[in-house]
Amino acid sequence: MAKGAAKDLDELRERLRHFAHERDWDQFHSPKNLAMALQVECAELAEHFQWLSQAESDALPENTRREVAAELADVLIYLVRLADRLGVDLLEAASAKMVRNEQRYPADRVRGSAQKYTRYRDNDAEPGGS
């Protein structure tokens, strides 16, 4: 583990709060700005995989893997900061979403398929959402 590495999301959130506060950046960290920054970082992450085959994306060269790790860190940082500003417990939200996904995508009905739940569910499919 890297020196000073956060051990969990709570510790990372506190470190990010402190980092932003020390630099007087809270004024810039509105949910809108953080969501936009998160989207930019996601695009920078995706750029590393653009035009790669599936096999190539599984076997990144070490230097690209390091760059991808840095982009993943940026995505996590902005995601944790945005959730903090909105008062969202990410682990709780992810757990709730997994329960919903387990209901929408029962393993016995979707195994081997990447289709959205609305493509295979009967008339009881939930409208919208993701």
Extents of the domains making up the chain: 10-109
DSSP string, 58-95: HS--HHHHHHHHHHHHHHHHHHHHHHHHHT--HHHHHH
Say which CATH architecture domain 10-109 belongs to: Orthogonal Bundle (1.10)
pTM: 0.84
What percentage of the chain carries pLDDT values higher than 90?
79
Q: What does the block give as tokens for 26? A: 């809270």
Q: What is the pLDDT of residues 41-64, one digit of tens each?
A: 999 999 999 999 999 999 999 999
